């Protein structure tokens, strides 16, 4: 896992990550065509999971990038404060649109990882009974969608 953003990812990793994303998008399309809501939900979760893994490969703080894009998207409102939509429903850029400053997000230094002295001991960690469910954790995490963003560690390949 990289701790600094970089475009210098080896071609094999780039190819793998793109292949994984393409596979999941294909599964989403098939599930949508079949009208299978469970598989649509699974494919969407897998896309997000693979995207977070890909961000780790590039050393990108994807939560920060998503927050910046969300803030930008919220400026796509018309003078009346309502979204301006194209005939097909796509939201257009309003008069106050501000493009996302992703370069600034990438340049920002993340908080350093805690040292061993600052990390909790096993005795300080919550037990399984005290730990929130995944849904509670996501809701508590917040984020632009209200569902939070899952931490990703290790392999980002979905089941």
Tokens of 20: 């994984």
The pTM score is: 0.65
pLDDT band of 130, cuts 50, 70, 90: low
Query: Where are the chain's structural domains?
Result: 1-60, 65-111
Pick one of 1.10.287.130, 1.10.3720.10, 1.10.645.10, 1.10.3420.10 as the CATH number of 1-60: 1.10.3420.10
pLDDT band of 119, cuts 50, 70, 90: low
What is the SS3 assignment for 44-89?
HHHHHHHHHHHHHHHCCCHHHHHHHHHHHHCCCECCCCCEEECCCC
pLDDT digits (tens, 9 = 90+) for 32-82: 999 999 999 999 999 999 999 999 999 999 999 999 999 999 888 888 888
The residues, ordered by sequence, that sit 6+ positions from 2 with a Cβ below 8 Å of its Cβ are 56, 57, 58, 59
Distances (CA, A) of 70 to 24, 85, 100, 102: 23, 17, 8, 11
């Amino acid at each position: 896992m990289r701790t600094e953003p970089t475009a210098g990812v080896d071609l094999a990793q780039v190819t793998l990550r793109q292949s994984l994303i393409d596979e999941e998008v294909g599964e989403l399309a098939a599930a949508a065509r079949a009208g299978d809501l469970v598989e649509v939900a699974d494919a969407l979760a897998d896309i997000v999971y693979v995207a977070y893994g890909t961000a780790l490969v590039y050393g990108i703080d994807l939560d920060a990038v998503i927050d910046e894009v969300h803030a930008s998207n919220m400026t796509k409102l018309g003078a009346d404060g309502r979204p301006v939509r194209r005939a097909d429903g796509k939201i257009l850029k309003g008069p106050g649109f501000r493009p996302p400053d992703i370069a600034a997000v990438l340049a920002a230094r993340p908080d350093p990882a805690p040292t061993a002295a600052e990390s909790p001991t096993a005795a300080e960690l919550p037990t399984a009974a005290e730990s929130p469910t995944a849904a509670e954790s996501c809701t508590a995490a917040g984020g632009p969608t209200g569902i939070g963003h899952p931490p990703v560690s290790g392999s980002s390949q979905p089941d």
